């Protein structure tokens, strides 16, 4: 299998999303993933990455976010590592998706979508770093 693992270091800037997307697309195409699975992975990565850059840093300095994409058996595995403030997305409050429009808020919707689309998410804090490992089943694609 070609491209068994891809590692990226991305700046905390939204402009890096296109680099992230292209890497995911290349990796996904090499594995023959369906466009639906690839869409769900791309969306989840945009949500997690944009969360880190929006809420992770209190200063204006450039920070580097490490992204590693790999696969193991029938799972695609993505590991995100950042030096932002401690943030466990798994503990984020679930949005109320039933309430009427006037009270509807968008907060945490990205994480809600990510949890639905990914099959496994594990958060760890190691020293000053957040490490999030997400897995997506890629069987039958």
Q: In the window 59-118, what residues touch other proteins (CB under 8 A)? A: 95, 97-98, 101-102, 104, 106, 109-110, 112-113, 116
End-to-end Cα distance, the chain: 16
- Among positions 33, 46, 76, 134, the unique one binding other proteins when judged by CB under 8 A: 46
Please, which of residues 3-42 interact with other proteins by CB under 8 A?
A: 14-15, 17-18, 35-36, 39-40, 42
How near is the Cβ of 42 to other proteins at its closest, in Å?
7
Q: Residue 139 corresponds to which tokens in the numbers above? A: 């069987």
Query: Is 48 in contact with 40 (CB distance < 8 Å)?
Result: no
Angular region, 30: left φ>0, alpha ψ -120 to 50, beta rest: alpha
Q: Dihedral through CA 135, CA 8, CA 1, CA 31, nearest 10?
A: 50
Which residues are at the interface with other proteins (CB under 8 A)? 14-15, 17-18, 35-36, 39-40, 42-43, 46-47, 50, 95, 97-98, 101-102, 104, 106, 109-110, 112-113, 116
């Amino acid at each position: 299998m070609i491209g068994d693992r891809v590692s990226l270091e991305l700046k905390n800037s939204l402009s890096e999303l296109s680099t992230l997307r292209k890497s995911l697309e290349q990796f996904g195409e090499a594995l023959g993933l369906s466009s639906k699975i690839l869409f769900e992975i791309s969306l989840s990565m945009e949500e997690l990455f944009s969360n880190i850059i929006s809420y992770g840093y209190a200063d204006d300095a450039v920070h580097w976010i490490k992204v590693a994409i790999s696969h193991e058996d029938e799972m695609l595995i993505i590991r995100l590592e950042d030096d932002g403030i401690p943030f466990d997305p798994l503990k984020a409050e679930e949005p109320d998706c039933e309430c009427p429009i006037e009270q509807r808020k968008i907060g945490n919707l990205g994480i809600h979508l990510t949890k639905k689309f990914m099959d496994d998410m594990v958060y760890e804090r190691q020293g000053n770093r957040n490490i999030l490992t997400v897995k997506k089943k890629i069987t039958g694609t």
